[in-house]
Amino acid sequence: MSRFETAHMVEPQARVSADQVVVLPWGEALVLVVADGAGNSRRGVEAAEAVVRAVRAAVAERSDLMRPEAWSDVLEQCDRELASAGHGAETTAVVACVTEGRVIGASVGDSELWLLHGDSHSVVTLHQRRKPLVGSGEALPVFFDVPWTGGTLVAASDGLFKYADALRIRAVASGLDLTASARELAALPRLASGGLPDDVGLVLCRFRH
């Protein structure tokens, strides 16, 4: 059984969501992916799906993924391939490889990865570049490598972080039932009308008790 517990959700603003969220096993580690296609368009969906495919291929084929730079390489290659296709498809990306002692990965855009600890949180992706996005041909992924010995990881698109209060995010994500927390987090940005201002894609991860 995995040492980790995860839960993920995608709540679309409209019929189809441009947010893609996956959790992939890689040996004793887990790889978390959040990609938010630009413009919530069909091209954005294609770009986000391309990030997921690129990460799946890396997990299946590469043995160097404990190097943070390897994840920058994966996103840079995806950026070049999307740009060369000439479709104008662009996306954010957060890729995090989670182990028992570290979280490593890379990111581009305004999707984020938070590490919750007690009554506070740190933004692992604080120094990422918001633009250019993956698919522009000019993306500059920033890699990260942080220690992790407990607490809850929250990776999500800006549909969560832009429209929900940080205190509420921390409180909900720290709940005992991770699946219930994911559902409640995805509902936090919901408007009085019942709609969402944007797609919400998120994944939670913590050590299994």
CATH class as words, domain 4-207? alpha beta
pLDDT-derived band at 126 (thresholds 50, 70, 90) equals: very high
**pLDDT over 70 at 40, yes or no:** no
Each residue of 145-192: pLDDT tens digit?
999 989 999 999 999 999 999 999 999 999 999 999 999 999 999 999
pLDDT-derived band at 88 (thresholds 50, 70, 90) equals: confident
Average pLDDT over residues 95-103: 96
Strand partners, 203: 8, 155
Q: Which residue has the higher pLDDT, 17 or 180?
A: 180
Burial of 67 (0-12, 13-18, 19+ CB in 10 A): middle
Comparing C-alpha atoms, which of 181, 195, 180 is closest to residue 153? Answer: 181
